[in-house]
Amino acid sequence: MAYHVEPIPRSLMAAFVAAHHYAVRVPPHCLLSLGCFVGSDLVGVASWGYGVRPRHTIQRLFPSLGTGDYYELNRLCMLDSEPRNGESQFLRLCREYIREREPGRVVLFSWADGMRGKPGFVYQADNWLYGGFIRTEFYVTTENEVVHPRQVITRCGRRDRAFTRSVGLMRVRGRQFRYCHFLCGHALRKRLLRESPMHWSQRYPKLDDCVWTFEGAAEGSRESREPPRFQGSGQFRHAAPLFAQSQAEDTPERAAPGREEEEC
């Protein structure tokens, strides 16, 4: 099956992600939207840009580089009908497109979502370098809906353990796996690898390296290699009940109109 890559409008890329990617939304810092086509049919999209802290991200990896030297892969999404190796083929075509049209880009960077049980097979198949993992977390409601920690703070004003347990949020901790691919020449690549505080190699993580810790109200804390059940996209869709409950807990109960409050 012959794929080819073309730039596409951000709106088209975002609509494709909303329809076919579990995250639903596209991060705001998208600089390049690429589409994967079979003939005239769009079968995949990729969003290239930055994360929430571009300069911090690249200089944490390679201290001498700046934001203009790299792209971060924010979203990669293909139709389920495509072959299993379709995403790695698409990734390779994206690399070739960026190297040819943006020669100033030195390195590509991405995270594999270990929280979703993905150790990064798509990057491994395209010979990216693995640079270790970080531990991250989010919350899950009783309906198995994912809630980002920032959303808990934004909507409820707090996310201490007593509060999250009281409203039925289970904290899930897991891993995110770090990958990069150089677009530069051999000499610059060697220098960047020497200066990086990360150890980059092709000793890749596997499914067994996806580990989760669950902290719930009833069961305490437990570790598992069985992936959690998730629903939704990570948006706080049902925040109002939790917000109302948190407000009620922090606000003294008031007497009905026309009656005096009893002295405690």
Average pLDDT over every residue of 13-29:
87
The 10s digit of each residue's pLDDT in 157-201 is 787 888 888 787 888 899 999 999 999 999 999 999 999 999 999
The 10s digit of each residue's pLDDT in 233-247 is 444 444 444 444 444
One-letter amino acid for residue 131 of the chain = G
Place of tokens 């901790």: 173
pLDDT grade, residue 1 (50/70/90)?
Answer: low
What is the pTM (predicted TM-score) of this model?
A: 0.81
Q: Kindly list the distances between the CA atom of residue 250 and the CA atoms of 154, 171, 174, 245, in Å, as whole numbers in the listed order.
A: 16, 22, 31, 9
Place of tokens 């092709």: 202
